[in-house]
Amino acid sequence: GQAVGVPNVDRANLGLDQNISDVDRSIDNDVTGDGQVKLFSNEQEQALRDAGFDNSTEELDYLAREAGVTQDELDGMVELLETVGDNSSNSTTSSLNDNESSIYLRGFGLAEVPLSYGRALSDHFAVGGNLKLMRGRVYINEVRVFDEDSDKFMEDATDQYKETTTFGVDLGFMARYKRFKLGIMGRNLNAPEFEAPTVNGTEFDDVTVDPQARAGLSWQPFNSLTLETDIDLTENETEFKGYHTRYFSAGVEWSIFKILNLRAGMYTNLAEDDIGEVYTAGVGLNILGANLEVAGAMSRDTQEYEGDEYPKEARVTAQLGLKF
């Protein structure tokens, strides 16, 4: 499952219900800056003064620097402040109270039930595949930013969705020589597609699960121990626009009497550098043709949220398989 917020900004109704000169004096009185303009260009500084921020330009520059506003973001910030200045008065008709800015929360959840088949072509080559029943939901929920109940958007975030049932195809090849195995797998080769709902007359793009390819190499120094590494051969899209994944992973498995498998490893996303290494651990249990797998993952890097530190990435997975 994935979710992302897509902004829909109302840039017209940004006025304050007071004269901009009062806002300007309030910023000048309440903010203690350093008396310098280092971020705004001469043109941007003059544009702010013309918009009514004549006394507080230095303070706004200081606040922007403290907030880490970049040069790429500066033009948009100045344009926004100009709009606020131009639309603010005691009798404004373009008030924030009338602002219709919203966020479209877009999510995608997918469940798969695979039917798998594998066959050895010789002592050194094998082929296998999955035919998967896939049931996916595309969620769309519009949240008005300035609504009093906007903080409760998660309560009905899952109410608006469209569900699609389709199928997917995976195909894999394996070569083995002595204690080495090389595998290549293609997932979702038929590019299954899931329809998105239309919300308030706005149509959203359907979700296509693009084909992916992955290769792996394993080595068994002795029968109960396996060392392996895997890498994505494709750079894969996500629901986050412009954010891609291409995972490299490495791990070790210790098999105890072919019944209990203990695993540990790590993976990292080669396409992005925002998370870093993620460490993994898992256990597998094989009894009478039933195979139960449970695993977890946690990143080394953390992120602060409301004063507490959390891993930037964490996962828990479980899988049950039956051999017949």
Residue 324 has pLDDT above 90, yes or no: no
Q: E strands within the chain?
A: 2-8, 102-120, 125-144, 161-177, 180-187, 193-194, 207-208, 212-222, 225-232, 236-237, 244-245, 247-256, 260-269, 278-287, 290-299, 302-305, 308-311, 314-322
Query: Is the pLDDT at 99 greater than 80, yes or no?
Result: no
Give the distance, in angstroms, between the CA of residue 263 and the centroid of all CA atoms in the same chain.
Answer: 27
Determine the Cα–Cα distance for residues 37 and 45; give it in Å rounded to an integer: 8
Q: What is the pLDDT of residue 36?
A: 86
State what percent of residues in the chain have pLDDT above 90.
Answer: 43
pLDDT top residue among 276 and 295: 295
* Number of other residues whose CB lies within 10 A of the CB of residue 185: 19
Q: pLDDT grade, residue 282 (50/70/90)?
A: very high
- Rounded CA-CA distance 252/282 in Å is 10
Q: Report how far residue 109's alpha carbon sits from residue 163's, in angstroms, rounded to the nearest whole number.
A: 10
Task: Decide the pairing of beta strands 244-245 and 247-256.
Answer: unpaired
- Torsion angle of C-alpha atoms 12, 14, 17, 19, degrees rounded to 10: -90
- Between 316 and 240, the higher pLDDT residue: 316
* Interval 53-66 mean pLDDT: 89
**Lowest model confidence (mean pLDDT) among 51-65, 86-100, 169-183, 223-237:** 86-100
Chain centre to alpha carbon of residue 233: 20
Which of the four pLDDT bands, split at 50, 70 and 90, describes residue 90?
A: low
Mean pLDDT across the stretch 302-324? 87
CA-to-CA distance for 14 and 98, rounded, in angstroms? 8
Cα separation, 58 vs 31, in Å, equals 10
Neighbours of 170 (CB within 10 A): 20
pLDDT at 100: 75
Least confident of 79-88, 173-182, 224-233, 245-254: 79-88
17-43 tens-digit pLDDT: 778 888 888 888 898 888 888 888 889
In this prediction, residue 91 carries a pLDDT of 60
Select the more confidently predicted residue: 11 or 117: 117
pLDDT level of residue 252 (50, 70, 90 thresholds): very high
**249-265 mean pLDDT:** 94
Burial class (CB in 10 A: 0-12, 13-18, 19+), 117: exposed
Average pLDDT, the chain: 87
Residue 246 burial by Cβ neighbours in a 10 Å radius (0-12, 13-18, 19+): middle
Contact in structure between 231 and 215 (CB atoms under 8 Å): yes
151 confidence band (pLDDT: 50, 70, 90): low
pLDDT, tens digit (0-9, with 9 covering 90-100), for 181-240: 999 999 999 999 999 888 777 788 888 999 999 999 999 999 999 999 999 999 988 777
Do the bridges between strand 278-287 and strand 260-269 make them parallel or antiparallel, or are there none, so unpaired? antiparallel
The winner for highest mean pLDDT among 77-81, 85-89, 143-147, 151-155 is 77-81
What backbone phi and psi angles, to 5 degrees, belong to 179?
Answer: -100, 15
Is the pLDDT score of 265 beyond 90?
Answer: yes
How much of the chain is in helix, strand and coil states, percent to nearest 5?
Answer: 20, 50, 35
Is the whole model's pTM more than 0.75, yes or no?
Answer: no
CA gap 194, 173 in Å, rounded: 28
DSSP 312: S
> Does the structure show a pLDDT above 70 at 157?
no
Tokens representing 79 are 């344009």
Token duo for residue 61: 């520059």
Q: What is the pLDDT of residue 154?
A: 59
Cα 212 → chain centroid: 18
Provide mean pLDDT across the span 2-22.
Answer: 75
Provide, rounded to the nearest whole percent, the portion of the chain with pLDDT above 70.
93
The SS3 of residue 171 is strand
Query: What's the pLDDT score for residue 152?
Result: 58
